[in-house]
């Protein structure tokens, strides 16, 4: 029977760990400098029309996590705190201008999603949530809302990232004939992804590439930074290369799952799952002090995950010990009976 709903977030116990464990002394100093810049009541986002508007909103402080600051520092190759601060402030302003805190709602982008041309389904072997893009299911004319919808889904991917997961898996299937996105739209999406979502792409797997799309990829590849280019795979053997487990992968990519997009079932469930995870993390963040620089690992429940894993391991070890003791206690009478019989 076809699957119509997004898959639950997998148990990541023992598969992920906190970021920032192996920072050098210089990297720690750069991080401290960036944190100090934002973590003050006097901080104002540059360029806002008045003092009140320049203050960080609660959701912006939530976004400025420990891991977020590290992502932007890595994006500037640890060149300087000022370079990371400049990019962070650019993204803070972009997020406001783009409409994340008012305009871009589920209702606003839903018309772009009724055919399932973009859906989130499954997780790779590293726990990265997967975003499937199927251009043949295009149902709207080119508009800025298409870009908004793409990044609405990226934000939902981030909601569904478990503790220790920072990157996503992008799955593009050009199978069946359909309208491919224009160069203008593709360049816009690429620019936003590189400028405002640094260190977020874990891998991009592209299949069924027609000749014209292959030429298109050759044109845009020079605009893609080298690190991102290394993550892009064309027509990969997804299972053979151990990138996904079969039960987490759609059949089109070689997996076992027969997925059928039914908007009335899928869409509300995706919003519920992502909303619950986001709200749980946000409430934990507030309970931790609602400050800039708090760790996603902690407010997403990473420590609890480790405790559960440790507890489960201890229980399993105790059960194994108990079973061995029980087996030994049964062997003794049996040996006596054999000796008597002899």
Q: pTM, whole model, 2 decimals? A: 0.87
Provide the pLDDT confidence category of residue 312 given band limits of 50, 70 and 90. Answer: very low
290: left (phi over 0), alpha (psi -120 to 50) or beta: left
pLDDT, position 65: 98
- 7 within a domain of the structure (yes/no): no
Phi, psi dihedrals of residue 139, rounded to the nearest 5°: -130, 0
- 78 within a domain of the structure (yes/no): yes
- 153 within a domain of the structure (yes/no): yes
pLDDT, position 320: 52
Statement to judge: residues 263 and 286 lie in one domain: no
Last residue of a domain, one of 239, 274, 309: 274
Statement to judge: residues 120 and 263 lie in one domain: yes
Distances (CA, A) of 89 to 43, 96, 237, 277, 283: 11, 11, 40, 26, 25
- 232 within a domain of the structure (yes/no): yes
* 194 vs 5 pLDDT, higher one: 5
Number of neighbours of residue 133 by Cβ within 10 angstroms:
18
Please answer whether residues 170 and 129 qualify as being in contact, where contact means their C-beta atoms are separated by less than 8 angstroms.
Answer: no
Statement to judge: residues 149 and 67 lie in one domain: no
Statement to judge: residues 194 and 224 lie in one domain: yes
Q: What is the 3-state secondary structure (H, E, C) of the chain?
A: CCECCCCCCCCCCCCCCCCCCCCCHHHHHHHHHHHHHHCCCCCCCCCCCCCCCCCCCHHHHHHCCHHHHHHHHHHCCCCCHHHHHHHHHHHHHHHHHHCCCCCCCHHHHHHHHCCCCEEEEEECCCCCEEEEECHHHCCCCCCHHHHHHHHHHHHHHHHCCCCCCCCEEEEEECCCCCCCCCHHHHHHHHHHHHHHCCCCEEEEEEECCCHHHHHHHHHHHHHCCHHHHHCEEECCCCCCCCCCCHHHCEHHHCCCECECCCHHHHHHHHHHHHHHHHHHHHHHHHHCCCCCCCCHHHHCCHHHHHHHHHHHHHHHHHHHHHHHHHHHHHHHHHHHHHHHHC
- 4 within a domain of the structure (yes/no): no
Statement to judge: residues 47 and 177 lie in one domain: no
Statement to judge: residues 138 and 259 lie in one domain: yes
Statement to judge: residues 118 and 264 lie in one domain: yes
The range of the structural domain enclosing residue 175 comes to: 112-274
pLDDT, position 95: 98
pLDDT at 25 over 70: yes
pLDDT at 187 over 90: no
Instruction: Please state, rounded to an integer, the average pLDDT across all residues of the chain.
Output: 88
Statement to judge: residues 216 and 231 lie in one domain: yes
What residues does 205 pair with on adjacent strands? 171, 233
* 285 vs 218 pLDDT, higher one: 285
- 32 within a domain of the structure (yes/no): yes
pLDDT at 152 over 80: yes
Last residue of a domain, one of 228, 259, 274: 274
Provide the pLDDT confidence category of residue 171 given band limits of 50, 70 and 90. Answer: very high
pLDDT at 333 over 50: no
What residues does 3 pair with on adjacent strands? 259
Provide the pLDDT confidence category of residue 316 given band limits of 50, 70 and 90. Answer: very low
pLDDT at 315 over 80: no
Gap between the Cα atoms of 20 and 308, Å rounded:
22
- 226 within a domain of the structure (yes/no): yes
Q: Which of 134-143, 244-253, 329-338 has the lowest mean pLDDT?
A: 329-338
Gap between the Cα atoms of 168 and 204, Å rounded:
9
pLDDT, position 262: 98
- 317 within a domain of the structure (yes/no): no
Question: What total of structural domains would you count in the chain?
Answer: 2
CATH number at residue 249: 3.40.525.10
For residues 181-189, average pLDDT: 82
Number of neighbours of residue 164 by Cβ within 10 angstroms:
20
Please answer whether residues 300 and 281 qualify as being in contact, where contact means their C-beta atoms are separated by less than 8 angstroms.
Answer: yes
Structure tokens given for 205: 């797997």
pLDDT at 104 over 90: yes
For residues 298-313, average pLDDT: 74
Statement to judge: residues 85 and 234 lie in one domain: no
For residues 122-146, average pLDDT: 94
Statement to judge: residues 95 and 139 lie in one domain: no
Statement to judge: residues 84 and 213 lie in one domain: no
pLDDT at 337 over 60: no
> Which residues touch 251 (CB under 8 Å, ≥6 apart)?
257, 258, 259
pLDDT at 294 over 90: yes
Structure tokens given for 180: 């491919």
Nearest one of 59, 42, 146 to 104, comparing CA atoms: 146
For residues 36-65, average pLDDT: 95
For residues 265-291, average pLDDT: 98
Q: Which of 223-227, 254-258, 317-321, 332-336 has the lowest mean pLDDT?
A: 332-336
Report the C-alpha dihedral over residues 183, 202, 65, 269, rounded to 10 degrees.
Answer: 80
pLDDT, position 331: 46
pLDDT at 324 over 60: no
For residues 305-314, average pLDDT: 58
Gap between the Cα atoms of 293 and 65, Å rounded:
4
Last residue of a domain, one of 274, 291, 320: 274
Statement to judge: residues 203 and 136 lie in one domain: yes
Please answer whether residues 199 and 128 qualify as being in contact, where contact means their C-beta atoms are separated by less than 8 angstroms.
Answer: no
């Amino acid at each position: 029977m076809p699957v119509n709903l997004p898959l639950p977030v997998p148990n990541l116990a023992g598969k992920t760990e906190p970021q920032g464990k192996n920072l050098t002394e210089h990297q720690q100093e750069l991080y401290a400098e960036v944190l100090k810049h934002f973590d003050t009541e006097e901080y104002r986002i540059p360029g806002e029309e008045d003092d009140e508007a320049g203050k960080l909103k609660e959701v912006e402080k939530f976004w400025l996590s420990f891991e977020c600051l590290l992502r932007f520092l890595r994006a500037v190759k640890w060149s300087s705190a000022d370079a990371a601060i400049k990019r962070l402030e650019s993204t803070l302003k972009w997020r406001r201008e783009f409409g994340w805190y008012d305009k871009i709602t589920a209702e606003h982008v839903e018309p772009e999603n009724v055919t399932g041309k973009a859906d989130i389904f499954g997780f790779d072997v590293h726990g990265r949530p997967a975003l499937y893009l199927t251009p043949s299911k295009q149902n709207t004319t080119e508009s800025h809302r298409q870009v908004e919808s793409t990044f609405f889904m990226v934000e939902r991917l981030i909601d569904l990232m478990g503790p220790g997961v920072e990157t996503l898996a992008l799955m593009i299937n050009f199978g069946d004939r359909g309208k491919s996105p224009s160069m203008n739209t593709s360049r816009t999406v690429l620019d936003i992804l590189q400028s405002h979502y640094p260190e977020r792409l874990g891998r991009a797997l592209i299949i069924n590439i027609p000749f014209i799309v292959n030429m298109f990829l050759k044109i845009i590849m020079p605009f893609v930074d080298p690190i991102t280019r290394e993550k892009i795979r064309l027509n990969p053997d997804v299972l053979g290369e151990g990138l996904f487990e079969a039960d987490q992968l759609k059949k089109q990519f070689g997996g076992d799952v027969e997925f059928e997009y039914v908007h009335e079932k899928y869409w509300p469930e995706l919003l519920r799952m992502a909303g619950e995870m986001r709200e749980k993390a946000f409430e934990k963040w507030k309970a931790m002090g609602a400050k800039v620089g708090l760790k996603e690992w902690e407010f997403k429940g990473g420590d609890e995950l480790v405790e559960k894993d440790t507890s489960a391991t201890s229980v399993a070890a105790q059960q194994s010990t108990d079973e061995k003791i029980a087996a030994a206690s049964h062997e003794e009478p049996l040996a006596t009976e054999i000796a008597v019989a002899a």
